[in-house]
Amino acid sequence: MWSVYFLLLRNGDIYVGSTNDLKRRFASHQAGEVLSTKAYIPAVLKSYVAVETEDHARELENYFKSGSGKAVAMKRLIRGRIPT
């Protein structure tokens, strides 16, 4: 299984990523081992979507990083007020 996940970063931004080991990947974010989130930890795992293949996970990740994908994610997957 692969996961597309959404992290709420300390600066209020949402980070979208994909992995085949969500627990390990989240721990690497929290440990400051991921360059793109390192300056904004701690992060909160807000939501994730599990899919069967890496290809599908990468497609969804790219979609959720697009304008319309961000809107769908905020409305349907992340929910709640994101601090600004």
Tokens of 75: 């409305």
- Entry pTM: 0.91
DSSP 30: H
Count other Cβ atoms within 10 Å, centred on residue 13. Answer: 12
Topology of 2-78 in CATH? Answer: GIY-YIG endonuclease (3.40.1440)
Mean pLDDT to the nearest integer, 76-81: 77
Q: Is the pLDDT of residue 79 over 80?
A: no
CB 45 within 8 A of CB 7: yes
Render pLDDT for 19-72 as a digit per residue (tens, 0 to 9). Answer: 999 999 999 999 999 999 999 999 999 999 999 999 999 999 999 999 999 999
Cα angle, residue 53 at apex, residues 66 and 35 outer, rounded to 5°: 55
Res 1: pLDDT: 97
Cα Rg of the chain, angstroms: 12
Instruction: Parse the chain into domains and list their residue ranges.
Output: 2-78
Res 83: pLDDT: 53
